[in-house]
Structures are given as C-alpha cells and as structure tokens.
Amino acid sequence: MTSTWNELAVYQPKVLKLLANSIQKNRLAHAYLFEGSKGTGKKDISLLLAKRYFCQNPSGYEPCHICRNCRRIDTGNHPDVHIVQPDGLSIKKSQIQALQEEFSKAGVESNKKLYIIEHADRMTVNAANSLLKFLEEPSSSTIAILITEQVHRIINTILSRCQTLSFQPIPPSAIREELEKHEVPSRIAHLVSYLTNDVEQALEISRDDWFAEARAIVIKLYEVLWDRKGQAPLMIHTQWMPHFNDKEKQDIGLDLLLYIYKDLLSVQIGNDKQVVFQDLLQQLKQHSLQITQRNLLKKITLVLDAKRKLHANTNPQLLMEQLVLTLQEG
C-alpha cells in the first residue's frame, strides 16, 4: 500500500503542496518530471497521485485508499495505469510504442489514463524521440509521470514539455523517526540516518548485523587511536580488514570514523545536538578538551583524503595502515 498524503508530506512538503494546489484547482499538468536522488519518494508520490486521479471517493486532494481503484493501484492491477521500466539497461523504442498503442485505445473504465516511466534517463534516443511525439499531442485526460535520478540526461525537448518537480534529500531527523517506528535502536537509527537519505536502504542497513559490528569496530579503532596508539596497526590487520573486506565496506568504515571526528568538532563549538554518535557524547566532551581545533581539522582532512585515495584504486590495507600512523601522530 502506498503512503498517505500526510506521511509523504513529511519528506517532500513542497512537492506535495504544489500537487495539492493543482488538484484543488483542477489544474494537473499533462506531464510531470519527478527528479531527485534515490529514496526521496518519487515512485511513492507518483502512485499517490495516480490513486487520487482514479479514486472513487476522494477527500480534497487525498485519495480514500480503500475504493476499488485505489486498491487496484496498490496491487499494480489497474487497467488504465501503466508503468514502464528499463528492459535490461535501457528503455527501448518498442516499449514506448507499445505504450502509445495501449493509449490509442479507449480507456477500459473511463477516458482517464496515467503512465509512469521509471528511470526515464535510460531511454534510448529512439525511445525518447517516440515519447516526444506522445508528449507533443497530449490528451486532456492523460497524465504522464517521468521519474529520474539523472535529470541532466533528459533531453531538453522532453524537459520543456514537462513540469519538473525536484525532490529534496530526506532530512536525517525524518529517517531517524521512521527507523525508530520500526524499533531500530536509537543509537543505530541516529547513525544510519546520516549515511543515506533512502528510507528503505536505511532500514536494510540498520537491520544488518554487519553494520552493528562495523560501528563497534570503528568506535574501538577511535579509542585505540586516542589512548593505545601502538595497537592501531595491529587492529587494522586483525579486525578492520577482515570486516571491511571490500571497497564499499571500507568506504562505510571511513565514513563512520569521519563522523566521530566531526562529532568532536561539533562538541568543541558547542553544537551537541549535531553529534551523530550521541551515546559517546560524554566521552567526546572529555576528549574535546584535550585536542586543538587545528589538530582535529587535520584528522578530518586525513580521513577525507583516505576516502579519495580509496576510490583511486589505492591498496586498501596499505591505505588504512598509513592512515592510522598519521592519525596517531597528533
């Protein structure tokens, strides 16, 4: 089941307000382009708009969610709602032609039709040209919704025929609240909310035992670097590398370490509410008194530099060994 208007308005208030105004004034556009990063609610809001468009018992701008049309859209079985997804790596001309053929027929139950094209940036040139002809001759009762994470790859002639709505990254506070609704421990929810703005991905990460252990290893490395410096290279060999055993995981590990040092900086400038590792707050307050801001900024720069080198195909173990040696110098 898709979310309600109020639930999604927490994530995308500007988008939902604009659509609500258009619905209330009966001025929905014939073509929309929903653009924004992954996990920002583009597909959910597309389906919500579809439900409102076909709902038999709407209340203002909100669909009822329980009528036959709403339930069929929830299950993907409404005959006049069509979703096009990439066939393999791209959306092909034949897929757009099949859509056009379908829309040339009378609506199954009314004259209304709505189609959603996911990853619209993956249309081949021929597919995009076919769609362009479709958009140039809009039916008053047809709504097109194009979804993309790569708006710069949409050709200008399509952009000019769509009303573009930009979806903003979901704030960490909203993700944290959603995770806590799913009984994710507060310390994990708080941290994960800063790692991704995709609620589904956040839930996946927070339920992964690997991540809980990763968090513990990063905290231990930080503590070793603080007061048992000689043990850091051994820890990299015995605990860090076995756990962070590919580049994607290494990157997450470095992000977590970076957040601890940034938390120290937040504490130093009196911004405790911005601290990501809230359960370490008292320890961080003690440490913040023992390090200069200049030294702390140097450590943050070192971790950022390690992240850059990681993506430049540097050997991960040598990279981490070098990083801890330089971090423990200060």
Where are the chain's structural domains? Answer: 5-166, 208-327
pLDDT tens per residue across span 259-277: 999 999 999 999 998 899 9
pLDDT at 2: 58
Which carries the bigger pLDDT value, residue 273 or residue 301?
Answer: 301
* Cβ-contact 65, 194 below 8 angstroms: no
User: What mean pLDDT, rounded, does the chain reach?
Assistant: 91
CATH code 3.40.50.300 for 5-166: yes
* Cβ-contact 96, 84 below 8 angstroms: yes
pLDDT at 330: 61
CA 156 to centroid of chain Cα atoms: 25
Instruction: Indicate yes or no: pTM above 0.85.
Output: no
**pLDDT above 60 for 254:** yes
Structure tokens at 119: 């990853």
Q: What is the DSSP letter of 169?
A: P
CATH of 208-327, one of 1.20.272, 1.10.20, 3.30.70, 1.10.730: 1.20.272
Q: Are strands 142-148 and 113-117 parallel, antiparallel or unpaired?
A: parallel
Structure tokens at 17: 């307000």
Helix (H, G, I), strand (E, B) or coil at 34: strand
pLDDT at 67: 95
pLDDT tens per residue across span 140-175: 788 999 999 999 999 999 999 999 999 998 888 888
- CA nearest neighbour of 166 among 263, 320, 9, 42: 42
- Residue 18 CA to residue 186 CA, distance in Å, equals 34
Helix (H, G, I), strand (E, B) or coil at 144: strand
Say if residue 104 is exposed, middle or buried (CB neighbours under 10 Å; 0-12, 13-18, 19+). Answer: exposed
pLDDT at 201: 87
- Residue 92 CA to residue 128 CA, distance in Å, equals 9
* Cβ-contact 69, 78 below 8 angstroms: yes
Q: How many CB atoms lie within 10 A of CB 28?
A: 15
* Cβ-contact 54, 114 below 8 angstroms: yes
CA atoms within 13 A on the CB side of 240: 29
Cα 260–261–263 angle (5° rounding)?
Answer: 65
